[in-house]
Amino acid sequence: MSDNQPNDANPFTSRRFILAAVIVAVVLLCAVVLVVSSVLGGQAKPTAGPTSSSTPTHSAAADADPSVCGLKGFEAKSSLDDAPKSNWELVGTIAAPTDPKGAGPGKIESDGFRSCYAHTATGALYSAANFIALGSDATTRTKLPSLIAPGPGREAAKAQSTQSSDSAGYRAQVAGFKVDSYDGKNATVDLALNYSTGQMVSLVLKLTWVEGDWKLVTDNSGNLPIPPAALQSLGGYTPWSGA
């Protein structure tokens, strides 16, 4: 976005917008479409991702903090450029990758709420994609704070979790990904979301391994550390989608 755009007209930097993106992901889907369609006009450009090997590096070390639901697999270091072979299920309005005995989610509740992922880069990727999908489902949306890392950010999310929003008319799907970093304890996953309008948006989620699962990292107010950004193409991303 060009520098001459006024700050108060930029919803990507709005604290209220980012908070909604964390707590009620469907609000983000609606707001970003509006921004991309009416403000950006194709000005934003995707940032090239780091070059890394496409072959995951598996650690021989034992997992000192295994998956809370018993999913196998542990990677202390990994790079992931090749799209994992995935089964996809519709969660709310978004297709989410599903591998209950592999990357996860290893736990799916009767209302469709999903949690518990493998302690691997693929597990972190699945966790990020499923978090976004859960935000589009009104049935499970209020449970999203449990997928945020413990601390003030989770408590702030709980305080806001009863907020509702109408996103009628807007649909988005995962179109690609980049795993920007992964060290076994922390992961940064960049998801490219493709909207029914034809626009694309980059959503970067930082995750940390805690409580035997991947949890979303926020600041003390429940804000995403990195705001969403418009994309012109999937350049730099690995194509990956279920719809």
As a whole number of angstroms, the distance between CA 28 and CA 117 comes to 24
3-state secondary structure the chain: CCCCCCHHHCHHHCHHHHHHHHHCHHHHHHHHHHHHHHHHCCCCCCCCCCCCCCCCCCCCCCCCCCCCCCCCCECCCCCCCCCCCCEEEEECCEEEEEECCCCECCEECCCCCEECCCECHHHHHHHHHHHHHHCCCCCCHHHHHHHECCCHHHHHHHHHCCCCCCCCCCCEEEEEEEEEEECCCEEEEEEEEEECCCCEEEEEEEEEEECCEEEECCCCCCCCCCCCEEECCCCCCEECCCC
Cα separations in angstroms, 73 against 10, 64, 81, 95, 209: 42, 12, 18, 24, 14
Instruction: State the pLDDT at residue 1.
Output: 43
For the chain, give the number of residues. 243
Has residue 4 got a pLDDT over 90?
no
Cis check for the bond before 105: say yes or no (omega within 30 of 0). yes
Cα separations in angstroms, 11 against 106, 134, 196, 223, 230: 35, 22, 20, 13, 12
CB 240 within 8 A of CB 224: no
Question: Which residue in 50, 43, 81 sits closest to 232, CA to CA?
Answer: 43
pLDDT band at 172 (very low <50, low <70, confident <90, very high): very high
As a whole number of angstroms, the distance between CA 194 and CA 237 comes to 12
pLDDT band at 161 (very low <50, low <70, confident <90, very high): confident
CB 116 within 8 A of CB 159: no
Higher pLDDT, 5 or 155: 155
Tens digit of pLDDT for each residue in 204-228? 999 999 999 999 999 898 888 899 9
Has residue 42 got a pLDDT over 90?
no
Has residue 10 got a pLDDT over 90?
no
Give, in degrees to the nearest 5, the angle at Cα 51 between 48 and 55. Answer: 135
Has residue 56 got a pLDDT over 60?
no
As a whole number of angstroms, the distance between CA 19 and CA 28 comes to 9
